[in-house]
Amino acid sequence: MEHWTRGPTIGRGSTATVSLATTALSGELFAVKSTELSCSSFLQKEQCFLSKLSCPNIVKFLGCNVSTENNRPMYNLLMEYVPGGTLFDTIRRHGGRLEEPAIQLYTHQIVQGLEYLHVNGLVHCDIKSQNILVDEECAKIADLGCAKSVQRVAGDEDSATASTIISGTPVFMAPEVARGEEQGFEADIWALGCTIIEMATGDGPWPELNDPVSALYRIGFSPDLPEIPTRLSNKGKDFLNKCLRRDPRERWTAKQLLEHPFLEESLGSKTEQVKEFNFTMRSPISVLDQGIWDSHEAFENPKEQSVVESVCLNSPLERIKRLIGGTCSAFSNAPNWEFEENWSTVRSNGIEESQNSGTSNNVISVDEPVAATSPNVALTYHEELDSSLCDEDDGCNF
């Protein structure tokens, strides 16, 4: 990739930070995950996964490199910048819940992304609204830091084996994951159901549970299921029922879900509805249509601010404003694109040679078993996973 300039930090995790960046010539925005080179093996593992994927419903890998900043070598993972933020942000911006046409469209796109991952032998392991990025009309699965590769059983396309290391967000874990038994494709389908509940209600699947260990016990060892939102249509309720089966063998696959009537309906009109639905919340996608880099943090040095101000002063919007007597609005009355929650969280696992190709809250990590049957359980509460809990056994060969 051509020379680029780092902008403000927009996300911060336990092992890396996420920054906005722009190319020197075109001004194109993209996102950069960075960490010190000496502890970048887990970020390089995420790069290994992303560099082998090409799907419109998975965040796009743009490249990777090593830079020296403040006399420290930094490993950088370059990805597309999705300006709409996370699905979690979208839910908040629209009154705490989404209408069914938007739920159908986003669910359809998430399932398309999951089906692609599963066909390629990958389990995401942490599907939730904070790990889905959205723009005006498309949802993209992001944050493959907890992902793992699985091996299919010969002659059985629906069977797969994965490492015994468990990771993810407790309240989104499937029963078999909460018990520490396995974390296969079926676990992603359960988490998808939980994410639909988020979209429909604005709450998690177990809103009454605040303690992650208590949540794991109830999910793993009780007969309870998350409550299906009453406001969903019968097709929506049936779709959720196919996702939220306690027995993983009874859950539908991503391929089957794509043929469910809830998603099988013509989505053309729904796409237009969602585009209109998102229009008023549209975020900028390049330096040409924004007061660039409305930041969550102050600029770290005057040089950064001068770069931004010069771009602002020469944008088409600001040239027009000057003609009518206006002034640059990047730091005054520009639309406010920032929200309290960061749009991206950072988690990663292992090492592989780099290559180019075509969401922060409380953290809990558990090294000891949370149940007698769960010898290797690693948890994330809400956003982040300690990278030390991602195992090299989750390799990126697929």
Same domain, residue pair 123 and 249: yes
DSSP code at position 283 = P
Sorting pLDDT into bands at 50, 70 and 90, what band is 391? very low
Asked if residue 209 and residue 90 are part of one domain, the reply reads yes
Which residue do the tokens 């982040």 mark?
A: 384
Beta strands in 103-218 (DSSP E): 122-123, 132-134, 139-141, 148-149, 151-153, 156-161
Residue 271: inside a domain: yes
105 in a structural domain? yes
Nearest to 233 by CA among 252, 261, 259: 261
**For residue 85, which amino acid is it?**
G
Q: In this structure, is residue 189 part of a structural domain?
A: yes
Beta bridge partners of 5: 22
Place of tokens 């290797």: 376
- Whether 295 maps to a domain, the answer reads no
CATH code of 58's domain: 3.30.200.20
129 and 207 inside one domain:
yes
pLDDT digits (tens, 9 = 90+) for 43-52: 888 899 999 9
**Binding site members for ATP:** 33
Residue 126, both tokens = 């942490």
Q: pLDDT value at position 254?
A: 98
Going by C-beta distance under 8 Å and a sequence separation of 6 or more, which residues neighbour residue 173? 166, 187, 190, 191, 216, 219
Rounded to an integer, what distance in angstroms lies between the CA atom of residue 114 and that of residue 129?
Answer: 14
Instruction: Please indicate, yes or no, whether residues 49 and 99 belong to a single structural domain of this protein.
Output: no
Residue 339 lies in a domain: no
The answer on 120 and 23 residing in a single domain is no
Residue 335, in any domain of the structure: no
Both 37 and 96 in one domain: the answer is: no
Lookup: tokens for 223? 């007969």
Residue 389 has pLDDT above 80, yes or no: no
Q: Are residues 93 and 70 in the same domain?
A: no
Contact 15, 35 (CB under 8 A): yes
- 144 and 52 part of one domain: no
Q: Say what percent of the chain tops pLDDT 70.
A: 62
Residues 171, 56: one domain?
no
Can you give the pLDDT at residue 225? 97
Single residue among 260, 277, 294 that ends a domain in this structure = 277
Give me the number of domains the chain comprises. Answer: 2
Please enumerate, by residue number, every residue annotated as part of a binding site: 33
Q: Is residue 141 part of a domain?
A: yes
Measure the CA–CA gap between 180 and 115, rounded to whole angstroms.
24
Q: How far is CA 133 from CA 6, 121, 328, 380, in A?
A: 21, 22, 29, 19
Position 47 in a domain: yes
Which among 149, 181, 166, 171 has a CA at the least distance from the CA of 249? 181
Residues 43 and 32: beta-carbon distance below 8 Å: no
Domain of 123, CATH number, reads 1.10.510.10
Residues 97 and 197 in one domain: yes
pLDDT in tens, 179-189: 999 999 999 99
Do 212 and 72 lie in one domain? The reply is no
Given a cut of 70, whether residue 390 has pLDDT beyond it is no
What does each C-alpha distance from 124 to 105, 114, 168, 267, 339 come to in angstroms? 20, 8, 9, 25, 26
Q: Based on C-alpha coordinates, what's the Rg of the chain?
A: 21
- Decide which of 24, 47, 80 is a domain's last residue: 80
Place of tokens 């690693």: 378
Domain end: 228, 255, 277, which one? Answer: 277
Q: Indicate the range of 2-6, 248-252, 336-340 predicted with least confidence.
A: 336-340
| Co-location of 110 and 259 in the same domain | yes
Domain ranges, residue 108: 85-150+167-277
Catalytic residues: 126
